[in-house]
Each structure stands twice: as C-alpha cells, then as structure tokens.
Amino acid sequence: MIGPQSRLFVFLLGALMMVNVLSIDMTLPAMPALGAAFSATPDQIQLTLSLYLAGYAAGQIFIGPLSDRFGRRRVLVGCLAMYSLATLACAASPRIGFLIAARLLQGIFASGGPVMVRAIVRDHFEGARAAHTMSSLTTVFAVGPLLAPIIGGALLVRYGWPSIFLFIVFWSLVLLVFAWALLAESLREPDLQALQPSRIIANYHTFFTTRAAIGYAGLNGLCSLGMFAFLSGSPFVLIEIYGVAPNHYGYYFGLSALTLMLGASTNKRLLQWMPGERVMRYGCLTLILGGAAAVAIPFSPLNGPLALTVAIMIYIFGQMLVQPNAVAAALMPLPHMAGTGSALMGMMQMLFGALGGYAVNALYDGTPLPMTSTLLVAGIACSGLSLLLRR
C-alpha cells in the first residue's frame, strides 16, 4: 500500500480523476461522426453528453454516503468495475437510443472516481495543504484533457468511434487493478448510520446550511458551467464553424489542457505567499477577462480558431485559481461526512455543467456566441458569489 505523502499516491489519485475527463474529452471529436453513424440529429447527439453529465451528477447522491459507510476503497473498486461494463456497452451500441442509455449508466459510475478522490484528500489533509494537494492532482490529471482529444481523434479516423470507448475500458481496468492493489483505506471511522434516511437528511441539511460548504461548492459549480459550455460547444464551433479537421481538434483542445497544468502550478505557488481566498479573488477576475475576450474575438480582426482558443485558455487559467481552493474550503467544515460532502459538491458541479452544455445547445445559432457568452456570464457570476462570500 502507498502512503499519502508519496508521489505515487498523487499520481494514482490524479489518474483516477481522469476517468471523467476521458469519458468526455475523448468522445468530443466523435460527436459529429456519431450523428452520421446513427443518422441522428444534433439534439440527440448532444444528449449523449448531457445525460452522461446528468448520470454523473445523480450517481454521486448514492456513492458519497456509501463511501461514508463502507469506506473509500471498496466503493471505488466497485464503481470502476461497473463503469467498465457500461463503457463496453457504449462501444457495442447498435442505435442512438442504446448509446444514450449506456452513457447515462457510464456517467453514474464514473462519478465514483472524483468523489472518492476528493474524500480521500479530505481524509488525509485540510486547509492549505488540501488545496495544495488538489492542485498537484490537477497537474497530473491535466494530462488527460491534453492527450484525450488527440488520441480520440486518431482512433476515430483510423478505427472508428467504437475504438474510443474500448480504449476507455482498458484504462478503467488498469486503474481498477492499481486501486485494489495499492490504495489503502483512508476512512478511519466509518459512519455505521450513513445510509439511514435520517442521517442522510441530517448530513444534507448540514451541507446546505453551512455557509462555507454551499457557498464554495457553488463557486466551484459556476466555474464548471463555463467549462462545460466550452466542452459542449467547442466541437461544433471549431470543426463546423472554423473548419478544423476532426483529427486536429485535439491539438486546439490540448492547449486548454496545458493551461490546466499551468494554472494548477501557479495556484500552488501563490498559496505559499497568500491565503486561498485572495487567490480565488484573482481567479474570478481572470474568468471575466477570459469570457470577455472570447465574446470579442469573433467580432475582431483576430477572429479564428487559435485566437478563440487563447481567450478560452485565459478563462481556464482563472478556473484553476478558483476550483482547487474552493474544493478545499467547501470540505473544510465537513470532516465527519467528507464522502457525502464531496458527492453533493460534485453533484452541484455536474448540474451546473449540464446547464452550461444545455444552454449552448439550446441557443446554438451557427456562431460561437452562445458558447462564448456563457463563459462570460459564468465568470461574472463567480465574481459576484465570491464577493458575497467575502462579505
């Protein structure tokens, strides 16, 4: 078993966070191709992402309390096993309705990885140390969004869309083996009453009435609203509007992943000089700057896929100054229910993400504006909530 201070511990938790990233980012280049393969409408193809996110949000409601009762390790291994089966079903889908249903199940069990990672970090660390660890994990898992669209695009062109899901099955099985063999149980005192309705209701009440928990979880969710607007809209904006080849889409998307690494590394350094609250304040201002630049680019002489991607990179950099600190601050007052708290925060994050993806899809008019304006709105909302939390 590996200890929480080892580099292998950070690497394994970061790799576990990639489960959700691969499920989304590797499939993004294939979304237009899925429409052609199943003779499906853009709305139907969008459902494969939206219902995945909905399942991801809903699954956390059950997985968090389960981990508070039975421990992180057993629940994590079980989720990875079921996730592998659901992903295999995606690869074997004969029609679009089957794929949508399989993606829903995939989302439910994919939520186990990030929920357990946040709970494990809270079991071992708190405060600035927890935020520092979350940033280290982000640096590792950012390799996922950096390479996933590139690998997904290459697999799509060479072997077709089912190969993408088969690759994800292989990755999840590798993680299952390593988690079972190397990851020790981090929950010191399981809550034997965690699954009783009265305890669940009490824990939910604690979360939603604890100002820091609900406030910083909301801040984390609003950041994700903009991020998932980008995830949902970028394949159509870059490929259909700007004419980027599907197998080249990953290179543009990879720039955003590099920004994840840079932002997470910057956050760790800033935490050595100033409190996390101040870092989040600077991050919120950066979100607004990135959103405003993204809105302006299509109307400027710089209009093009690279310039738009640079503007989105500014937003993502700000996001990395906000989210690790917001996660640590939200879970700080919840040591006795870290699994449930992590689950509720993750559920909020995915609900905000699904809202961002739906807004882009509903407002899509053949221009980048629905995606870019959602980024700007999310940045403004983050700054407003941050101000309320400081007051």
Answer whether residue 195 is part of any domain.
Answer: no
What is the per-residue pLDDT for 136?
A: 81
Interacting residues of 322 by C-beta distance below 8 A, sequence separation 6+ = 219, 220, 223, 280, 283, 284, 287, 382
What is the per-residue pLDDT for 197?
A: 87
Per DSSP, the residues of 279-320 read HHHHHHHHHHHHHHHHHHGGGSTT-SHHHHHHHHHHHHHHHH
What is the per-residue pLDDT for 382?
A: 93
Answer whether residue 263 is part of any domain.
Answer: yes
What is the per-residue pLDDT for 86?
A: 95
Spatial distance between the Cα atoms of 296 and 119, rounded to a whole number of angstroms: 40
Q: What is the CATH number of the domain that holds 345?
A: 1.20.1250.20
What is the per-residue pLDDT for 390?
A: 79
Answer whether residue 164 is part of any domain.
Answer: yes
Interacting residues of 286 by C-beta distance below 8 A, sequence separation 6+ = 314, 315, 317, 318, 321
Q: Please count the structural domains in the chain.
A: 1
Radius of gyration of the chain (CA): 20
Q: ∠ CA 70-74-80 to the nearest 5 degrees? A: 135
Spatial distance between the Cα atoms of 88 and 304, rounded to a whole number of angstroms: 37
What is the per-residue pLDDT for 46?
A: 80
Answer whether residue 2 is part of any domain.
Answer: no
Answer whether residue 208 is part of any domain.
Answer: yes
Spatial distance between the Cα atoms of 336 and 206, rounded to a whole number of angstroms: 11
Measuring CA to CA, which residue among 299, 287, 291, 303 is closest to residue 238?
303
What is the per-residue pLDDT for 196?
A: 86
CB distance 222 to 378 below 8 Å = yes
Answer whether residue 27 is part of any domain.
Answer: yes
Answer whether residue 269 is part of any domain.
Answer: yes
CB atoms within 10 A of CB 362: 10
Answer whether residue 96 is part of any domain.
Answer: yes
What is the per-residue pLDDT for 169?
A: 95
What is the per-residue pLDDT for 64?
A: 87
Spatial distance between the Cα atoms of 304 and 186, rounded to a whole number of angstroms: 48
What is the per-residue pLDDT for 183?
A: 87
pTM: 0.77
Which residue range(s) make up the domain with 232? 7-184+200-390
Spatial distance between the Cα atoms of 380 and 222, rounded to a whole number of angstroms: 10
Question: pLDDT of the chain along its 391 residues, tens only?
Answer: 787 778 888 888 988 888 888 888 788 778 878 888 887 877 788 888 888 888 888 888 888 888 888 888 999 999 999 999 999 999 999 999 999 999 999 999 998 988 899 889 888 887 777 777 887 887 777 777 777 877 888 898 889 889 999 999 999 999 999 999 888 888 888 888 878 888 888 988 999 999 889 999 999 999 989 888 888 888 888 888 888 887 777 778 778 778 888 888 898 889 888 888 889 999 999 999 999 999 999 888 988 899 999 999 999 999 999 998 898 888 888 877 888 888 888 888 878 887 888 888 788 788 889 999 999 999 999 999 998 887 6
CB atoms within 10 A of CB 183: 21
